[in-house]
Amino acid sequence: MEHFDKKEIDAKIAAGFPLTHRRHNRLHIEMPFGLVNDPNGLVYHAGAYHIFYQWNPFGCTHKNKSWAHTATRDFCTYTMPTLALWPSDAYDKDGCYSGCGTVEDGRLRVLYTCNAKDAAGNRSSAQRFGTLVRGAVQKEEIVIAGPPDGFTSHFRDPYLFHWKGTRHLVIGAQTAEKRGCVLVYREIADGWTCLGELKTQLKDFGYMWECPNLLSFGDCDVLAFCPQGVPARDYDRQNIYQAGYIAGHASLDAMEMLTHGRFKEFDRGFDFYAPQIFTHEGRHILIGWMGMPDREADYPSRAEGWVHSLTLPRVLTLRQGHIFSAPAAELKALRHRETERPLEAVGESEFSATLYDLTEIILDLTMGEAYSIAVELLFGLEKLVFRYDRLAQVMTIRRDGMKLGGRGERRFKLYAERILSMRLYVDHGAVEAFFRHGEEAATIALFPEKNIRPTMRIFSDVDMDRISGVLWELEPLHFEGEGHGGDGENM
């Protein structure tokens, strides 16, 4: 177990802000050093949104799993990130794995998975509460010592929710037969009791389910989770691991997701996993990890000493069993109003515009007689391509035109009758795309070889009726005290 000196690590974090290396993202939360992964403990408390996330401060490997913490009132200005939770005893000596946040008696508390291995490499997984006090989580009682009989030690990522006035949690699990599932626990007078597996109609759906969330959209419930070991298909499940949901009705009396639809993915890009969703004032807000396990070679920033980001915060809505996602409205405050530039062309098959280093783009492409439409982001001779086949109703994302990092393509079904709508956020090393007003989304990590301002090029097989839209230069996220060694404890 590494020695964690919080004061020393926090000072090193503060000294690393503002992020200045050209590959560092500035619209997305990331760290000046180390490996970032799963968002955790998302909760609204004392006037601010609190965001924890897994972090290895000692390298770009999946070891030394700790939690960093930041807070924001507006998703634009954040407290300086600090180390908040780290391995320190026999229960979590091999990592503080994912968990959730809650507010209890005015305190911000977290519930997380303790990971420990013995000399033979056998894993033990326990669930533990802690309370955030002066920037650090004070560890408290172990509330679930291990998985129930019939399940392996792959037992992690607790998520709290209320049902019929009583606190419950869902947790990712694996049966002894190596089948992924979600278990449900109920809080009782003297602890927590396991109600069993929340059954679904999904068959042969992976060997492990991670990062479950259970939430309600009015009279419909959504079970979100990350299955591992699900084979790819032509138009979905194309990443090594998936992140998605089923929508139906959760009955904890029957212990089943009733009348649910098929599994759908939150994001169609290359680099999205382990999302967590929290609710405040009626908004379901999702933050995901912009990365992918077991794909280390796709992320060359490791050579610079850091890797991965969190996604933009997205607000989710459910319509007819399908989740739509949109960037949080607060992000509009990042727009430089004086840089607003209209994008307009009538009866053209080609159009281009020079972008800013940090850009938001809103596009409406009235296709007319065009059946093949492409939107390219060009970085000198490199490019990322979004190509829409109107006849097949398929969107294809290709990043084979990039020299560094991951490549390949992703394809998914998308129906656009007359107008193809897109919204793009372009960061130094990332693009987040929203299609058809959030019907689908895609997260893509990019590593342009040269430090060059991108250009957007739109073209089609024949003239389109109209190209319309707008773009803005965006302000980078601001971290309080950056450049001044701020303590990050103001929220």
Which residues are marked as active site?
A: 38
In contact, 356 and 473? CB cutoff 8 Å? yes
In contact, 477 and 331? CB cutoff 8 Å? no
- φ/ψ of 334, rounded to 5, equals -80, -10
